[in-house]
Structure 1
Amino acid sequence: MKKVVLVTGANSGIGLALCERLLSQDSEGLQLCLACRNMQRAQAARSALLASHPAAHVHLLQLDTSSVSSVIIAAQEIKLRYDKLDYLYLNAGIMPNPQFDVKAFFRGLVSSKIITMFATGEGILTQKDGVTPDGLQDVFATNVFGHFLLIRELEPVLCHADRTSQLVWTSSSNAHRSAFNLEDIQHQRGNQPYSSSKYASDLLSLALNTQYNKQGLYSSVICPGFVMTNLTYGILPAFPAFLWTLLMPIFWLIRMFTNTFTLTPSNGAEALVWLFGQKPESLDPFAKYHSLTSGLGNNYAQPRKMDIDLKTSDLLFEKLLQLESEMRSQLKEKQKEVHHPI
């Protein structure tokens, strides 16, 4: 029986690289679904995958994780198409264009923190978040809540007593406890919404294991390392292309001294692919599985303990359940207004 794999944010970057690598392993043994916001780009991604793997089963699904209604509609479509999901890769994410501290950047180039600076943006980046039409903070909605709601909606095809299913979150080395506040889970009052959202996803993965392991659903977290994707290029939106070209030799040089500079999306997808071959019940729920690349270009995955705890993860889960209830009520009110305008 074919394994059903759904990947959010699959039209480019690490998501697309994951799809390519999975199909390279077994193009005929999978039903692959690309869940994307932009359907034109999704179609281009599908065409590229089919050009390399003509016999593959690659389907498309429109999904915008920042929109409550889009998530619910997409989930309904998934349940109509599939009676099970074996893997749900929660990869879609955004990082708002940051405020870039040029002086701190050049100080970092000649400091001992150069590797950390490039890998996480620590010390040089602050971000300004937006608000979705649903009234949620944009980064939180896209990176965390939309995926949480999707999982809740897909319980019938994810949870079964006689088999296991796996959730895999694309997190980040930028997931810092210091950026997250349980009293402000949407990060309305801070300037590090991306870091907060990634730490929240780490916590949520642990909570999901507590809630769902007995129903055969397991959750894991990966870090792709420092990868050159559209998200990365967006960190320095004003940089001209030639400057990125000049920086690349520096990045390759740095990789001789650290294994976190994976650089290419294919390398960054290493931990995602590695998890595909593991028994989910054997994995450590407190570990983040890192994609790593040696100076010679060899890829491997390695677990590292996350700075998370059960109490905080459970409290976050309860807050998300409460927010889910509020958003469902809000959506029902909107639907009533549409059908019965005053």
Structure 2
Amino acid sequence: MERVVVVTGANSGIGLALCERLLTDDSQLRLCLACRNMQRAEAARSALLASHADARVDLLHLDVGSVQSVLAAAQEVKARYSRVDFLYLNAGIMPNPQVNVKAFFKGLFSRNVINMFATAEGLLTQQDGLNSDGLQEVFATNLFGHFLLIRELEPLLCQAGHVSRVVWTSSSNARRSAFSIEDVQHRNGTEPYSSSKYAADMLSLALNRHKNSQGLFSSVTCPGLVMTNLTYGILPSCFWTLIMPIMWLIRIFTNTFTLTPHNGAESLHWLFLQKPESLDPRAKYHSLVSGLGTSYTQARQMDADEGMSQAVYSELLELEKVVRRKLAVKNAEKEAHGQYLSEIE
């Protein structure tokens, strides 16, 4: 029986590299590219079919930053497939990243240079804002939209006698110090990306606690330092031209500089080949690369907190109720308005 794999953020970078690797490993799988930009999704599909002519590659319009889009996409998935074997939660944003240039150059010529590039700790902030649902944009895209997608797809993910997998693309930038359970959406901070990724790590723990008995297993990956559209947006292109030779040199001495999307997708692809019972729910699976360019996966313990994990899960469940109520009221008002217009015509 063919396996169904859904990948969010699949039209470029790590997501597209993962799709290429999955089709190389199993040309019989049913692959669904869930993307916000359908023009780029079509281009990605064409690129995949160019090297895998017989592959079954579907497209799905999905903006994980929009509640309405998530609900509509989930309905489409349920109409197309009888189950989902793998759900790769790869889409993410880091809007308007700001770099402390002084700290950057100070760190560039210090012993801390590798850690600075690997985690961006003390170096990178972002400017967040509200989306059309009244949620913080980074929180909605990187965390809540994916949580809502899982909730909607539970009938396909949690089936008797069937094992399904959820795989999160996290980050080495996921830090407990950037997260507060009192401010889950990170309205009052300057590191929403770090906050959202740490919350995703905690959510994965909670999903395993609550859903393993129903056949759903969740894993967390870290792609390492990868050069993608998101990464290139952090600094002006002239800076990357200056420092890329330095980064390739540094890679000889560290295994976290994966640099290419193919290498960054290593742990995501590795998990595709593993049996869930052999995995550690408290581990983050890191994509790493040797100085000679050989990519491999290594499990490293997360900064895990069971109490925090449950608190994040509970907060998201409560927020889901609020969001669904608001959406129901909005739809009812829209329907009433439409009925009123039809009556006066």
2:333 matches 1:337 = yes
The residue aligned with 1:278 is 274
The residue aligned with 1:38 is 37
2:324 matches 1:320 = no
Structure 2: tracts of 5 or more residues without a match: 341-345
2:260 matches 1:260 = no
2:305 matches 1:306 = no
The residue aligned with 1:230 is 229
The residue aligned with 1:3 is 3
Which residue type is aligned with residue 4 of structure 1? V
Which residue type is aligned with residue 294 of structure 1? S
SS in 2 for 1:218: strand
Q: Which runs of 4+ in 1 moved over 4 A?
A: none
The residue aligned with 1:20 is 20
- CA distance in 2 between counterparts of 1:168 and 1:216 reads 14
- CA distance in 2 between counterparts of 1:190 and 1:216 reads 36
Structure 1: tracts of 5 or more residues without a match: none
TM-score w.r.t. structure 2 length? 0.97
- CA distance in 1 between counterparts of 2:164 and 2:277 reads 10
SS in 2 for 1:257: coil
- For 1:183-207, what per-residue CA distance to the aligned partner results, in whole angstroms no more than 9, with x for missing partners? 1000001000000000000000000
2:61 matches 1:62 = yes
The residue aligned with 2:156 is 157
2:245 matches 1:249 = yes
- CA distance in 1 between counterparts of 2:271 and 2:26 reads 15
Aligned counterparts, 1:110-189, within 5 A: 110-189=109-188
Task: Give 1:310 deviation, angstroms.
Answer: 1.2
- CA distance in 2 between counterparts of 1:3 and 1:107 reads 49
- CA distance in 1 between counterparts of 2:288 and 2:127 reads 30
- CA distance in 2 between counterparts of 1:4 and 1:217 reads 14
- CA distance in 2 between counterparts of 1:280 and 1:15 reads 21
- For 1:71-116, what per-residue CA distance to the aligned partner results, in whole angstroms no more than 9, with x for missing partners? 0000000000000100000000001122221111110111111011
- CA distance in 1 between counterparts of 2:151 and 2:20 reads 28
The residue aligned with 2:218 is 219
The residue aligned with 1:86 is 85
Name the count of aligned residue pairs: 338
Which residue type is aligned with residue 199 of structure 1? Y
TM-score w.r.t. structure 1 length? 0.97
Aligned counterparts, 1:87-106, within 5 A: 87-106=86-105
- CA distance in 1 between counterparts of 2:100 and 2:277 reads 44
The residue aligned with 2:198 is 199
- CA distance in 1 between counterparts of 2:286 and 2:174 reads 13
Task: Give 1:213 deviation, angstroms.
Answer: 0.3
- CA distance in 2 between counterparts of 1:337 and 1:303 reads 50
Task: Give 1:246 deviation, angstroms.
Answer: 2.8
SS in 2 for 1:291: strand
